[in-house]
Amino acid sequence: MSPVIPITPANATKSCAPVAAKCSLCSFNRLCLPQGLAEDDIARLDQIIARRRRVSRDETLYQTGDGFHSLYAVRFGHFKTVQVNQRGEQTIGGFHMAGDLLGMEAIGNGQHSCNAVALEDSEVCEIPFSRLQELVMQIPGLLQQFHRTMSREIQREQSVMLFLSHMRAEQRLAMFLLNLAGRYAQRGYSSTSFQLRMSREDIGGYLGLTVESVSRQLARLRQDGSIVLNNRDLRIIDRNKLEVMSSGGMAQEFAAVA
Amino acid sequence: MSPVIPITPANATKSCAPVAAKCSLCSFNRLCLPQGLAEDDIARLDQIIARRRRVSRDETLYQTGDGFHSLYAVRFGHFKTVQVNQRGEQTIGGFHMAGDLLGMEAIGNGQHSCNAVALEDSEVCEIPFSRLQELVMQIPGLLQQFHRTMSREIQREQSVMLFLSHMRAEQRLAMFLLNLAGRYAQRGYSSTSFQLRMSREDIGGYLGLTVESVSRQLARLRQDGSIVLNNRDLRIIDRNKLEVMSSGGMAQEFAAVA
DNA sequence: CGCATATTTGACCCGGGTCAATCACCGTGG
DNA sequence: CCACGGTGATTGACCCGGGTCAAATATGCG
């Protein structure tokens, strides 16, 4: 029914069948820690991965206050990271999909500062951090890739700060959808047709908007023909229009001038 | 006149007099990369530091698009990091003071994604990243400290996202002032009396508010006796009241109940 | 002393939050 | 098969915090 292929594990026969779970065979390895590593270095990385862990929908991978021991690479499925302040208000720090690395925020003080929750049945590779630290000291390429990954997380958050500060609701939604599309494209999926794995409320939590605003903005995007949206099935009809919106309609002005 | 001691270099006789510039002698080393290192490891770190670089007020340390070669540790003075989007709107990513590490956002793709601008005459230690990478592979404690530093930056930004999403102007200001106070306390300065090194506009850019809002909120804090503020000289009078405000006045409710 | 910039203050307005009702979807049990 | 309850999503009405525009001050620098 859904036009989007649910990402399922390649015939997951037994949880102890490690063949399909090796980094070298993982189709997302170029987006993950093994990126750029030689075969045998990937094999060494494989060896320190404690286990593949299933996390079913709505289950928590880790939560605020949990002691930090491991990073987690998403193998398949989707996660959100949630911060809750003392008043119970939630902010979604990000949505994470195959190849993304989770838990880096916890290295600093040894405990997690957000909750990681699966948006659907998912699987992660658990990477014990102490062993990773040993390994990066032996594999320069792995060290570099790890640093790049943390740095990109810093950059990503800075760009979130930017749109939280300055963008209107419409821009935020347009940018959000384009960002998702781009990430699916990176992973070899359709960038024009996919499922939103998160609720409207989660989208709002990420974009700094209420559910109602998200709903209204999506309605507007639907009305002006930019997207087709049934429940969570999304199809991007006019990517260009979304891009114009995401930059605050400035492209229009330029176009008018030029 | 100012009640706050301007942070000046310990008798900076010549730029080539390295004695006072050694990490081991730097009074902020416990807040910086050398934290937790043994004497001789600190000495090795010292050796890879290319130079101390003066950056005068309003001068740019690096800017968006610059190739990434080094990280910079603030020795004294203050910096802001500024992101500019395609429409020219600015967001202040953060304010940085002695012991803070700048430039980590650029590791990921090899070029800087924000501008680092000195808020006053300042000095940084330039740390060539390639040499740092070599060194962390030899000094486990340094590797750990570097990872902690990046992780804390991720955490810091997440908490900024949180207040950009949910907090009202008053809370943001209160939280901002308390945060500054805490950081000065860490550095051995007064946490109740200090100078704001940044303009109202920069504060607004950081907090996601306009200059006018910042000015009005500061006026309110002054009126209700929480602070005394003359130009940029700040004195925190009622820290408790600020804390109540920063948590959205919830503490009041609790107090009323208890 | 005088200009440029920073800050403050006032008046007005609007985007999006809030509150509330309705609708759609879905799994459950009779 | 359908009634039903629960959750998620949509839509409408209203309101307010803070943005915008404008003007008055203050400040600091040359």
What is the pLDDT, as a whole number, of residue B34?
Answer: 94
Give the residue nearest to nucleotide C19 (CA to C1'). Answer: A212
Between chains, do B140 and A133 touch, taking CB under 8 Å as contact? Answer: yes
Are the CB atoms for A100 and A73 separated by under 8 Å?
Answer: yes
Chain B residues in contact with A160 by the CB 8 A cut-off are 161
Between chains, do A107 and B147 touch, taking CB under 8 Å as contact? Answer: yes
What is the pLDDT, as a whole number, of residue A250?
Answer: 58
Q: Tell me the pTM.
A: 0.90
Nucleotides of strand D under 7 angstroms from a protein beta carbon: 8-13, 17-22, 27-28
Chain B interface test: which of A127, A154, A160, A202 (most B C-beta within 10 Å): A154
Pairing between strand B233-236 and A60-62? unpaired
Are the CB atoms for B255 and B242 separated by under 8 Å?
Answer: no
Q: In angstroms, how far is C6 C1' from B212 CA?
A: 12
> Which secondary structure element, helix H or strand E, spans residue A40, and what is its range?
helix A39-48
What is the pLDDT, as a whole number, of residue A87?
Answer: 81
Residue B100 in contact with partner chain A when CB distance is under 8 A? no
Residue-wise pLDDT for A79-109, tens only, equals 999 999 888 889 999 999 999 999 999 999 9
Residue-wise pLDDT for A22-39, tens only, equals 898 899 999 999 999 999
Residue B109 in contact with partner chain A when CB distance is under 8 A? yes
Q: In angstroms, how far is D3 C1' from A211 CA?
A: 30
Are the CB atoms for A107 and A132 separated by under 8 Å?
Answer: no
Are the CB atoms for A157 and B113 separated by under 8 Å?
Answer: no
Chain A residues in contact with B109 by the CB 8 A cut-off are 148, 152, 155
Residue A141 distance to chain B (closest CA, Å): 11
Of B89, B105, B250, the CB nearest to A154: B105
> Which secondary structure element, helix H or strand E, spans residue A71, and what is its range?
strand A70-76
Nearest to A230 by CA among A192, A196, A183, A189: A196
Chain A residues in contact with B164 by the CB 8 A cut-off are 161, 164-165, 208
Nearest to B116 by CA among B60, B65, B78: B60
pLDDT per residue, tens digit, chain B (258 aa), is 444 444 444 333 334 433 456 898 899 999 999 999 999 999 999 999 988 999 999 999 999 999 999 999 999 999 999 999 888 889 999 999 999 999 999 999 999 999 999 999 999 999 999 999 999 999 999 999 999 999 999 999 999 999 899 999 999 999 999 999 999 999 999 999 999 999 999 999 999 999 999 999 999 999 999 999 999 999 999 999 999 999 887 554 444 443
Structural domains in chain A plus CATH codes: 23-155 (2.60.120.10), 167-246 (1.10.10.10)
For the stretch B241-247, contacts whose Cβ atoms lie closer than 8 Å and that sit 24 or more positions apart, written own/partner, are B242/B174, B242/B177, B242/B178, B243/B174, B243/B178, B245/B170, B245/B171, B245/B173, B245/B174, B246/B171, B246/B174, B246/B175, B246/B178, B247/A86, B247/A87, B247/B171
Which phi and psi (to 5°) does residue B236 adopt?
A: -90, 120
